[in-house]
Chain A
Amino acid sequence: MSVIQPEGDPSSAGGPLVLLADDEPHITLVVSRKLRSAGLDVVTAEDGEEALDLALERPPTLVITDLQMPYMTGIDLARALKSEASTSEIPVIMLTARGYVLNPAQLASTNIRFVMSKPFSAREILEKVFELLPDAPGGLRKTA
């Protein structure tokens, strides 16, 4: 048992929350497991539309999204997030099929910080997450 307990509900206390959107359940399964074991809160969505709903309902600290998804692509999701006041600052990591190159026009008016091509390792994603969230995971701040 941890001696130092977080105060109150970690999500309401503003701990990092990652929103992960991919229509392939095995990707969300593996990646969310890795992120959670690193001490991050994770919510998952299986398409861009659901991801947007979840993000507007409870703005995450970071969004990781697949590019090709039903109803709303990852690019459209990133644009929608940028255009909403409550989510306009949220950084985005984009997952793409190998060999798919995003052009500058696609990246314009989004907060896409990294583009990672599949297949990738969950560990590589975690590294990028830590680059974008230097204070994460919550565990690192316990000593402060």
Chain B
Amino acid sequence: MIPRAITAAPVCAVDPLIERCRAIGVPTWRFDAGGTVVQEPDAAGVLGVWLRSADMVQRIRARVMSWTSQDEPDVEELLPGCWLLPVPEFRRRRRIGFTVGVAFGPEVVEQANFREMCLAAAVDPAVTRRSLLAIARFTRGEAERLLMMLRWSSQDLQAFAKGETAVESLTTQLSDAYETLITLYSIGQQMNTLSEPAGFIEHLLRKTRETLEFGWAGVTLTSPGELRGSGSANPIFVSGNTGCDEASLRDAFATLGERLELGQTDMASPEDGLPESLGAQIISHALRRENKAIGLIAAGSKGGIDPQISSYETLLLEAAAGFLSSFLDNVELYAAQHRTFLGTIKAMTAAIDAKDRYTRGHSDRVARLSAELAREAGLDAAQVERVHLSGLVHDVGKIGVPERVLCKNGRLTPEEFDLIKLHPEIGYKILSQIPALDDLLPGVLHHHERWEGGGYPYGIAGEDIPRMARIICVADTFDAMSSTRSYRPAMPRQRVLDEIRNCAGTQFDPELAECFLRLDLSFYDAMVAEHARDEGDAFSLAA
């Protein structure tokens, strides 16, 4: 791989020198190291014709050839009143030719061969003489000092041009570095969106592609330890246009994965059996988690000023791959943590349900009913999720209620009912030990409060009761009335709904009761059927 080519054209130091010579009446030639004319003087009129004549060029060239063996040729008199000023031209410390200034003194036109030279050049001697005298103002001593000035000027111009070139390339590098920094910054900022991995991957691909001017960039995730997987289950993400259908893209990624099994980064081309539409160069990088391959990131069809993939692109793609690997790690950890969290909650609800077979599935159903009601009441997705979780654990305090009371056949005594009424506070005490469940506590503590007051444990009323609790209260009562209990059979659906309607404003928040009556309860019936089947299975297992 090659470093990025410097796109800035080298700044030419010779043109300004020629400009300066012209301004002080010194025509110039440029010769390369072999004595070939590179540039003639651009003087107008007969003077120009005379200067550019074959005779004149031949005379000057003969002197230039003699300089090639000299370190620093001095002022050279071509004829009296005509001095050649050799200014060496360098590139990379090597002399590559001369810029030759010609300084004239007035005596040049008095020379015997001046007329001859004019005739040889087919110009009128009198007119040429007049034109020449306008610029023929130097003496030999002045010509010598002028050569020194021109050499210094040339050195300064070359140093300046070198500086300009350095500044140009530094500016290019700086702007590249800035783009890279902004890209990495923007990718880094998005790294906390763990609940939406696809959004992050798309953002990363788009930013990488835009910054490096790739036509497309893509990611595929394979099963751990596997890079060449092309199965349709492996997710593929692409930004930009690959010009490929999904099947050929999968094949291409499989080919890239195979190549990557040996190393971290790979550069491939259509000759390696990849579709032409992916570009002349395709760069890819393996994604790894704890040394196991989990996928790859690739990009191609590079455009922009420099369509070659350089170390600059390689470096940024490596960085993007690093970000992505670490992000996927975090996604996996987050998902595992969430599974543990849900598992803990399920375990708790299972513990409650196990105590009373009549309430089996109750927590699940209340949770689902509460969530549907919360959604119907206009809560956002995050709030609905919290209501759902609170619904799952709302009765966890029943663990602390004696089984003989909980499962008693027939009416409870007032003392027994007092024991039942402790369950919201017991639940609160149990769950308040877990910081992550803090926001579920209001639903647990207050789901037996009544809208008009007089419920338990605190007897608070109206909007003093947290909304989460008011929601769970409706759902809980609905499920209780709809289920068979140890002391009574299930009530028919219509009677239950009438009861909800009748208790709006007394037991229930009237707005929530109204929302509840709008719910399509087919999901609930399905859950009841499923729980009944589970129960049947449990009984048949026991039998």
CA distance A29 to B167 in the complex (A): 9
| A70–B92 CB distance below 8 A | yes
Question: In the complex, how many residues of chain B place their beta carbon closer than 8 angstroms to a beta carbon of chain A?
Answer: 19
| A117–B6 CB distance below 8 A | no
Q: 1/0 per position for A18-48, CB-CB distance to B under 8 A?
A: 0000011110011000000000000000110
Q: Which residue of A lies closest to B318 (CB)?
A: A98
**What is the count of residue pairs linking A and B with beta-carbon distances less than 8 angstroms?**
47
Residue picked from A24, A26, A46, A50, most chain B C-beta under 10 Å: A26
B79-87, B186-194, B272-280, B309-317: which lies at the interface: B309-317
| B315–A119 CB distance below 8 A | yes
The interface residues of chain B, by DSSP majority, are classed as: helix
| A26–B93 CB distance below 8 A | no
| A119–B312 CB distance below 8 A | yes
CA distance A49 to B93 in the complex (A): 10
Looking at chain A, what size class is its interface with the partner chain? 10 to 19
Given A47-B93, A70-B92, A99-B1, A25 and B311 touching (CB < 8 A)? no
Q: Does B386 touch A at the CB level, under 8 Å?
A: no
CA distance A131 to B379 in the complex (A): 62
CA distance A23 to B91 in the complex (A): 12
Q: Does B169 touch A at the CB level, under 8 Å?
A: yes
| A98–B92 CB distance below 8 A | no
| A97–B162 CB distance below 8 A | no
The residues of A that contact B314 with a CB separation of less than 8 Å are 98-99
| B173–A97 CB distance below 8 A | no
Residue picked from A24, A47, A50, most chain B C-beta under 10 Å: A24
| A26–B166 CB distance below 8 A | yes
Q: Does B3 touch A at the CB level, under 8 Å?
A: yes
Q: Does B170 touch A at the CB level, under 8 Å?
A: yes
| A97–B311 CB distance below 8 A | yes
Q: What's the least CB distance linking B350 to chain A, in Å?
A: 57
Task: Jot down 26 A-B pairs with beta carbons below 8 A, ordered by A.
Answer: A24-B169, A25-B162, A25-B165, A25-B166, A26-B167, A26-B173, A29-B166, A29-B170, A30-B170, A46-B92, A46-B93, A47-B92, A50-B93, A70-B92, A71-B92, A97-B3, A98-B1, A98-B311, A98-B315, A99-B311, A99-B314, A100-B1, A118-B311, A119-B3, A119-B311, A119-B312
9 pairs of A and B residues whose beta carbons are closest in the complex = A98-B311, A25-B166, A99-B1, A26-B170, A26-B169, A26-B166, A97-B3, A118-B3, A70-B92
